[in-house]
């Protein structure tokens, strides 16, 4: 726990090396003698291993692991964690082997030390990749033993306290990484003491002037407001005493970083943030928490909309408390937190409370540990994709700006702010997300892109034949949903690309008077290896994605005696609109069924369908080998995006009138935008979902009959 006397500066600890005596004194207060003796042996072992090594500050290197152990001793962690903290650098920085640690101090200690050591042993091509991959490895290590991250967080905390010996650029880089990754992890695991210190030290390093201004303002306010604090505290204690409630009432000091973040978030002045009194009321039971809430609301009038019940609905890291804001003396805001002693311990130590030395283990601590392990496992489960993409997904999950919604059965689901029904579906189960087709919010059907709000009840409608849509990526926000959709689409795209590649190769072979069915799998495999590919399937995927041209591959498959001139016309490729991601439709000309079309083979994206009238064809015709003749094939219940421009006389309600006429033809509007008015005429641009040209013609015909419509045109490039 951070010493309040050095809260803002942390300099007393940073300026001197923490010795073994200070550590042993702390350990003897809660550990049995035999475990303290083992920790003393670990110190002697580590000191011998690091003999001759020094830190940049000139101190003996062993001072660092002892300081890390001292931080963990403040949390009353078990002896294995303390031993691992003392030895956490010996595998990386000395010739000591993991087996040697296991033999002397046990397998669990060796695994923790190894988990911490492995995080820094990978070489990367970029700084961003290094940060992301290091974080991924940290999570993998945490799955096996969450104490790995506790040691790592303590290690980072002491390094932040002693950053003064580092070059300025290095200091800033470490501070930014601390604020981006380590402080949010400490927050997510509920270890608020470490989280608060990491944030304040990060702010002090990145923005020293801002930190000094905030620190000075807090110290000034502390002196000026002492009489108000004493008055409010006495009033609360007196009210609770009259009701026969025994409670601990204490003032709550605001942290510089939390003040800085609130100033940014609320765009308000420093004085408005500092001039808020904070109090914490700690009682024995949950029932007493609610009783005290009623009493303080009777003492000072509560501010509307400022009450939060984190006891009934805990935060995602297990934090529980009642939060309320009151109008205090002279109308000054008074923030009050009410919690039990168990909740207070969890608020200070979070998941670390599970590993605190104790004779038994209560259900609350076990639940906290299980929540943390479940969160880590969830992050590891969605670790597909490259490291940087993974890190961005995790950052979304780390910051606790949540919305709380309910399942139809009343179960609570916590989702990131801005989450949609699709995020909710994946939060329930990946299969539910993959088969989601519609959603109801409070029993009313809503679009899948609708943002969710606190307290809503969400019902997901599924279909067996449904699958994720590529458009979902534009509005989902949760890491789990984004990862699941990308993984599904990646697998689906490969299968579709291989099928399209087979069709393209078959067409090219027919032009050479050779049937695809007469080509053996062995021939395709042999050609694939010649082209440095792994299999025939990969070769077909490359053709479907446009990375290999089907006519050239077809010629490679011909027997040497075969005449390669075109001997028959195989006809154009048939497109039904059901080919999936390997076939896309150009947004420059919006082709729909019954339009004359051509197909352009793109590298890595399959084929793109254009209208023959598209002006972009002129530039593409310079590469005739990449063009394919295609025709439409009938497909039931398939709709295509098209765009029309409606030029209208500007008046109130004209947009609604046009939209109403479009809806009367049973045509869906996907998107609407309006261009600037010119001479009393504005242009409304509609993206519509239609089955073919006939349906589009009905829409245009109906709109042209409107008196306020000047002209209707179909968008082209």
Spatial CA neighbour of 108 closest among 83, 91, 74, 90: 83
Backbone phi and psi for residue 53, each to the nearest 5 degrees, phi listed first: -90, 140
Residues 6+ apart with CB under 8 A from 184: 395, 398, 399
Q: Which of 236, 317, 333 is nearest to 281 (CA)?
A: 236
Instruction: For residue 648, report the phi and psi dihedrals to the nearest 5 degrees.
Output: -130, 155
Q: Which residues contact 217 (CB under 8 A, 6 or more apart)?
A: 270, 271, 274
User: Which residues, 6+ apart, have CB-to-CB distance to 327 below 8 Å?
Assistant: 300, 301, 302, 303, 333, 334
Strand partners, 446: 439
CA 173 – CA 196 distance, rounded (Å): 19
What are the start-end ranges of the E strands in 567-667? Answer: 573-575, 583-585, 597-602, 606-611, 627-632, 640-649
Range 26-54 burial, b when 16+ CB lie within 10 A, else e: bbeeebeeebbebbeebbebbbebbeeee
Query: Pick the catalytic residue: 28, 44, 93, 530?
Result: 93
Q: Which of 92, 108, 389, 459 is catalytic?
A: 92
Residues sharing a CB contact under 8 Å with residue 273, sequence separation 6 or more, in sequence order = 254, 259, 262, 263, 266
To the query of whether residue 93 is one of the catalytic residues in this protein, the response is yes
Q: Establish whether 129 is a catalytic residue.
A: no
Q: How far apart are CA 547 and CA 657, in angstroms?
A: 47
Give whole-number Cα distances, 66 to 214, 447, 589, in Å.
32, 56, 68
Distance between CA atoms of residues 498 and 501, nearest Å: 5
User: Sign of torsion, CA 628 634 639 643?
Assistant: positive
Instruction: Give which of 129, 48, 147, 618 is closest to 354, Cα–Cα.
Output: 147
Q: Output DSSP code: residue 253.
A: P
Please state, as a whole number, how many other Cβ atoms lie within 10 Å of the Cβ of residue 694. 11
Which are the catalytic amino acids? 92-93
């Amino acid at each position: 726990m951070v010493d309040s006397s050095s809260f803002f500066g942390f300099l007393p600890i940073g300026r001197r090396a923490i010795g073994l005596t200070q550590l042993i004194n702390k350990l003897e207060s809660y550990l049995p003698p035999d475990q303290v003796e083992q920790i003393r042996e670990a110190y002697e072992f580590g000191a011998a291993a690091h003999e001759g090594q020094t830190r940049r500050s000139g101190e003996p290197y062993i001072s660092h692991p002892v300081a890390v152990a001292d931080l963990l001793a403040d949390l009353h962690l078990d002896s294995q964690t303390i031993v691992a903290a003392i030895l956490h650098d010996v595998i990386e920085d000395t010739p000591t082997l993991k087996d040697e640690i296991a033999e002397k101090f046990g397998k669990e200690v060796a695994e923790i030390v190894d988990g911490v050591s492995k995080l820094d042993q990978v070489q990367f091509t970029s700084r961003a990749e290094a940060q992301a991959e290091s974080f991924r490895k940290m999570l993998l290590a945490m799955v096996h033993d969450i104490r790995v991250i506790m040691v790592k967080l303590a290690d980072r905390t002491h390094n932040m306290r002693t950053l003064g010996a580092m070059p300025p650029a290095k200091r800033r880089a470490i501070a930014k990484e601390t604020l981006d990754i380590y402080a949010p992890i400490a927050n997510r695991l509920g270890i608020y003491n470490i989280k608060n210190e990491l944030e304040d030290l990060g702010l002090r390093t990145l923005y020293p002037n801002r930190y000094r201004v905030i620190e000075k303002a807090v110290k000034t306010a502390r002196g000026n407001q002492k009489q108000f604090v004493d008055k409010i505290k006495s009033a609360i204690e007196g009210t609770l005493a009259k009701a026969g409630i025994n409670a601990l009432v204490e003032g709550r000091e605001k942290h510089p970083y939390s003040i800085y973040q609130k100033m940014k978030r609320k765009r308000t002045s420093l004085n408005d943030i500092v001039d808020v009194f904070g109090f914490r009321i700690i009682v024995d039971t949950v029932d007493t928490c609610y009783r005290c809430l009623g009493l303080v609301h009777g003492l000072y009038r509560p501010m509307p909309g400022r009450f939060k019940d984190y006891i009934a609905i805990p935060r995602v890291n297990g934090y529980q408390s009642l939060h309320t804001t009151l109008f205090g003396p002279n109308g000054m805001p008074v923030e009050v937190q009410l919690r039990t002693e168990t909740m207070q311990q969890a608020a200070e130590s979070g998941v670390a409370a599970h590993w605190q030395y104790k004779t038994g283990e209560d259900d609350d601590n076990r639940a906290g540990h299980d929540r943390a392990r479940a969160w880590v496992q969830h992050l590891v489960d969605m670790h597909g994709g490259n490291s940087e993409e993974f890190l961005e997904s995790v950052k979304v999950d780390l910051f606790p700006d949540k919305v709380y919604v309910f399942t139809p059965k009343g179960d609570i689901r916590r989702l990131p702010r801005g989450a949609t029904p699709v995020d909710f579906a994946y939060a329930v189960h990946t299969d539910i997300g993959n088969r989601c087709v519609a959603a109801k919010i409070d029993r009313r059907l809503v679009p899948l892109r609708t943002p969710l709000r606190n307290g809503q009840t969400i019902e997901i409608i599924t279909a067996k034949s449904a699958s994720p849509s590529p458009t979902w990526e534009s509005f989902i926000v949760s890491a789990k949903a984004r990862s699941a959709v990308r993984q599904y689409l990646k697998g689906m795209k490969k299968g579709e690309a291989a099928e399209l590649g087979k069709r393209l190769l078959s067409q090219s072979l027919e032009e050479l008077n050779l049937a695809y069915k007469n080509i053996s799998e062995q021939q395709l495999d042999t050609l694939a290896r010649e082209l440095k590919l792994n299999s025939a399937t990969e070769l077909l995927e490359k053709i479907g994605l446009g990375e290999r041209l089907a006519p050239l591959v077809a010629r490679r498959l011909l027997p040497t005696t075969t005449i390669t001139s075109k001997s028959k016309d195989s006809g154009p490729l048939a497109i039904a609109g059901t080919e999936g991601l390997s076939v896309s439709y150009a947004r420059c000309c919006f082709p729909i069924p019954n339009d004359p079309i051509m197909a352009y083979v793109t590298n890595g994206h399959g084929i793109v369908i254009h209208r023959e009238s598209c002006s972009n064809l002129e530039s593409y015709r310079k590469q005739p080998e990449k063009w394919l003749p295609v025709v439409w094939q009938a497909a039931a219940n398939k709709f295509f995006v098209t765009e029309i421009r409606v030029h209208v006389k500007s008046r109130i309600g004209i947009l609604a009138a046009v939209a109403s006429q479009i809806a009367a033809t049973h045509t869906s509007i996907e998107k609407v935008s309006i261009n600037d008015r010119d001479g009393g005429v504005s242009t409304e641009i509609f993206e519509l979902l239609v089955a073919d040209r006939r349906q589009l013609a009905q829409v245009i015909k109906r709109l042209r009959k409107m008196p306020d419509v000047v002209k209707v045109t179909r968008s082209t490039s």
